[in-house]
């Protein structure tokens, strides 16, 4: 879908015909079908139900997966609708929101039968040239599954594979499709489907139950607008009149139904061993490019007109009634949703630039706060207007990074990890800059002259999950690094973003002890020693900002209070460091 924008509102139009015309004119489909046909003829082991052939061409390598003649002849009998849950090789597709999904059991079994060979093929071919996986019927289904596996396992520097299938059945459920729609991987799949081919429609039309691996019925009513099987990727739908591309899974499901109904003469797809010649179809598609597009009255909006054109080339003539208008409206809304999802992805660069501006404003605020105990205490006390104005920058940054963390969690594991790697440096700086402000608000006293403290124990009770995940991912990234460079200057931002929470909890310990009495409780002594070791470790690593030592800071308040109740002969690395004022030369 594309869109134009006027001063009053956005105007959308659908470009499915233009995309399909580009694909057909590129000659790629002809090359792939030729490779499938050649691989079928050259099969070396007729007993195998599925084999593959590799063809290296200038610029890319084709992997064609082909079924045995007996399997192709009796395809409707061979392909069971049974689904299997969460195969171990595809656990990487599980996400926080979608922890469980199903894949067609037959397709999975065929993939497993070739797994060792396909794994070796990855090692041999992936680094040489981009891979295009292709296949017809079950070969195309396994090609889709193999492409999913490749997207997770292909070397990081290799180009992502592409899958183009012909007349293949659907292979996964709605949960799998929901995960892929959150991912850029969805764009790596193109499925060519003829109006006259029953195989892509086997599990979405009346006549075939869908069962789970335990033989329980999952769904039998295919008259409803959705089924347990869902399509993913782009579908190039073709008829005798022309062709068009569609992306939204619900739209594709509906088109699989209505285009079959208009061309099948009432045939049941589960009872026909029909084998479409996609070589002939591709030639017809090329021939159709030379003819003018059908004419539609342009009384509708640009988007509806373009959708009507696409339906017309698929042989669908809609009546001018309420049902048709409701369906067209739903098609329009889905395309708008898809466009806005893509627009959101492409607008990330602008958003990131806006966040850099917000971070720069916080850096300036931090600089201005040095004379007043540091930015942590300035924000905590909020004595000046700038302490209040900084709330806007903090809020925008937090909303942005919460959204980024949520987005990464919804993606398949490898893609989510790659996404995190790209922006983790920015996310780490955000966490170290902004989380102290959240901590300040958490521990802030309710009234200026009120002795009632704010909340306690931020780390376990008040910390947002997005901070925890950013810290976890940063730690994982640091483990994989070749080696940590030794610092020669102190960190401008304290590396442990929870540092101030630990300081506040240490102050609370002193207040609970009466504030001025010597420390005698063994449990309290142990906790204070633990805190001392924690702080000294950060100091020795130059991992705290020098501003913690500013006069009036919460840390210095803790130290002044703690020093008063220390025994004269009490000694530790931190106590000795603070008593002789070595911190004045820190950094």
| Residue pLDDT, tens place only, 274-283 | 467 899 999 8
- Three-class SS state of 307: helix
Share of the chain above pLDDT 90, in %: 34
pLDDT exceeds cutoff 80 at 51: yes
pLDDT in tens, 539-558: 999 999 999 999 999 999 99
Q: Classify residue 192 by burial, with Cβ atoms within 10 Å: 0-12, 13-18, 19+.
A: buried
Picking from 429, 432, 424, 430, the residue whose alpha carbon sits closest to that of residue 408 is 424
pLDDT given for residue 567 in this prediction: 78
User: How sure is the predictor about 49, in pLDDT bands with cuts at 50, 70 and 90?
Assistant: confident
pLDDT in tens, 138-149: 999 999 999 999
Picking from 552, 565, 557, the residue whose alpha carbon sits closest to that of residue 520 is 565
pLDDT given for residue 538 in this prediction: 95
Q: How far apart are CA 458 and CA 499, in angstroms?
A: 11
pLDDT given for residue 70 in this prediction: 60
Task: Pull the structure tokens for residue 375.
Answer: 């930015």
pLDDT given for residue 124 in this prediction: 67
Question: What is the average pLDDT across 199-221?
Answer: 53
Strands (E), 48-137: 50-57, 60-67, 83-85, 102-104, 131-136
Task: Pull the structure tokens for residue 422.
Answer: 């790209």
Q: Are the CB atoms for 437 and 391 separated by under 8 Å?
A: no
User: How sure is the predictor about 208, in pLDDT bands with cuts at 50, 70 and 90?
Assistant: very low
pLDDT given for residue 189 in this prediction: 96
pLDDT exceeds cutoff 50 at 215: no
CA dihedral 333, 338, 344, 346 (to 10 degrees): -140
pLDDT given for residue 234 in this prediction: 94
pLDDT given for residue 525 in this prediction: 83
Average pLDDT, the chain: 81
Task: Pull the structure tokens for residue 183.
Answer: 């991912």
pLDDT exceeds cutoff 80 at 12: no
CA dihedral 459, 460, 461, 464 (to 10 degrees): 60
Q: Are the CB atoms for 102 and 83 separated by under 8 Å?
A: yes
pLDDT exceeds cutoff 90 at 252: yes
Q: What is the 3-state secondary structure (H, E, C) of 338-369?
A: HHHHHHHHHCHHHHHHHHHHHHHHHHHHHHHC
pTM of the model: 0.69
pLDDT exceeds cutoff 50 at 17: yes
pLDDT exceeds cutoff 70 at 519: no
Share of the chain above pLDDT 70, in %: 78
pLDDT given for residue 570 in this prediction: 82
User: How sure is the predictor about 220, in pLDDT bands with cuts at 50, 70 and 90?
Assistant: very low
pLDDT in tens, 452-488: 455 678 999 999 999 999 999 888 888 876 556 677 7
pLDDT in tens, 74-127: 455 456 677 777 778 888 888 877 788 889 888 998 999 888 888 887 766 666
pLDDT given for residue 125 in this prediction: 66
pLDDT given for residue 212 in this prediction: 37
pLDDT given for residue 148 in this prediction: 93
Q: What is the 3-state secondary structure (H, E, C) of 494-525?
A: CCCCCHHHHHHHHHHHHHHCCCCCCCCCHHHH
What backbone torsions phi and psi does residue 104 show, to the nearest 5 degrees?
A: -55, 130
Q: Name the residue with higher pLDDT: 500 or 510.
A: 500
pLDDT in tens, 301-312: 777 888 888 888
Which residues have CB under 8 Å from 350's CB, separation 6+? none
Question: What is the average pLDDT across 37-43?
Answer: 76
Mutual orientation of helices 413-443 and 385-410 as an angle, nearest 10°? 150
pLDDT given for residue 265 in this prediction: 55
Q: Are the CB atoms for 586 and 546 separated by under 8 Å?
A: yes
């Amino acid at each position: 879908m594309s869109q134009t924008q006027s001063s009053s509102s956005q105007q959308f139009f659908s470009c499915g015909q233009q995309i399909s015309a580009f694909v057909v004119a590129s000659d790629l489909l002809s090359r792939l079908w030729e490779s499938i046909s050649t691989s079928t003829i050259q099969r070396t082991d007729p007993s195998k139900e599925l084999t593959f052939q590799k063809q290296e061409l200038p610029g890319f390598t084709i992997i064609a997966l082909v079924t045995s003649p007996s399997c192709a002849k009796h395809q409707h009998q061979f392909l069971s609708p049974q689904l299997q849950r969460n195969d171990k090789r595809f656990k990487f597709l599980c996400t926080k929101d979608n922890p469980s999904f199903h894949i067609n059991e037959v397709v999975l079994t065929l993939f497993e039968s070739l797994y060792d060979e396909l794994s070796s093929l990855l090692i041999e071919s992936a680094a040489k040239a981009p891979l295009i996986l292709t296949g017809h019927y079950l070969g195309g289904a396994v090609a889709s599954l193999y492409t999913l596996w490749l997207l997770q396992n292909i070397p990081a520097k290799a180009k992502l594979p592409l899958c183009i299938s012909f007349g293949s059945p659907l292979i996964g459920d709605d949960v799998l499709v929901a995960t892929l729609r959150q991912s850029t991987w969805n764009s790596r799949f193109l499925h060519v489907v003829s109006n006259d081919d029953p195989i892509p429609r086997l599990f979405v039309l009346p006549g075939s139950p869908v069962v789970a691996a335990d033989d329980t019925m999952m769904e039998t009513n295919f008259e409803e607008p959705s089924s347990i099987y869902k399509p993913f990727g782009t579908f190039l739908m073709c008829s005798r009149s022309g062709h068009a591309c569609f992306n939204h899974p619900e739209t594709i499901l509906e088109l699989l139904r209505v285009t079959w109904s208009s061309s099948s003469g009432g045939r049941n797809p589960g009872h026909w061993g029909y084998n479409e010649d996609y070589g002939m179809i591709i030639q017809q598609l090329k021939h159709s490019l030379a003819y003018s597009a059908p004419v539609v009255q342009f009384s509708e909006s640009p988007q509806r007109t373009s959708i009507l054109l696409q339906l017309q080339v698929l042989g669908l003539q809609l009546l001018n009634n309420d049902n048709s208008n409701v369906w067209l409206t739903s098609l329009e809304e889905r395309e708008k949703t898809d466009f806005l999802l893509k627009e959101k992805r492409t607008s990330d660069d602008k958003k990131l630039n806006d966040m850099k501006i917000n971070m720069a404003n916080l850096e300036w605020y931090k600089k201005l706060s040095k004379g007043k105990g540091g930015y942590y205490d300035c924000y905590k006390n909020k004595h000046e207007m700038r302490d209040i104005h900084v709330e806007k920058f903090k809020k925008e940054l937090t909303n942005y990074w919460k959204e980024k963390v949520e987005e990464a969690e919804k993606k398949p594991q490898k893609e989510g990890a790659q996404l995190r790697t790209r922006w983790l440096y920015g996310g780490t700086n955000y966490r170290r800059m902004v989380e102290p402000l959240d901590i300040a608000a958490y521990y802030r006293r309710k009234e200026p002259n009120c002795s009632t403290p704010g909340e306690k124990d931020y780390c376990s009770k008040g910390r947002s999950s997005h901070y925890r995940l950013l810290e976890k991912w940063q730690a994982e990234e640091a483990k994989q690094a070749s080696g940590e460079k030794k610092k020669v200057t102190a960190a401008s931002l304290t590396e442990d973003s929870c540092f101030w929470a630990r300081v506040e909890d240490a102050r609370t310990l002193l207040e609970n002890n009466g504030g001025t009495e010597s420390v005698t409780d063994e449990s309290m002594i142990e906790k204070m020693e633990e805190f001392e070791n924690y702080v000294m470790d950060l100091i020795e690593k130059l991992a705290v900002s020098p501003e913690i030592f500013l006069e009036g800071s919460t840390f210095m308040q803790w130290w002044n209070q703690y020093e008063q109740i220390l025994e004269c002969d009490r000694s530790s690395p931190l106590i000795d460091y603070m008593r002789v004022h070595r911190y004045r030369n820190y950094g």
